[in-house]
Structure 1
Amino acid sequence: MKDWAPSIIATALFAFLCPGVILQLPGKHRPVDFLNMKTSVVAILAHALLFGLLLLLFLVILKAHLYI
Structure 2
Amino acid sequence: MSDLYFGLKLYVLWFLGMFLLGVAINLLTKKEHRQSLSKLAIDHVRMSFAITIVGLIVCGMGWFLFKVV
Q: TM-score if structure 2 supplies the norm length? A: 0.49
More strand by share: 1
Which of 1 and 2 has greater Rg? Answer: 2
More helix by share: 2
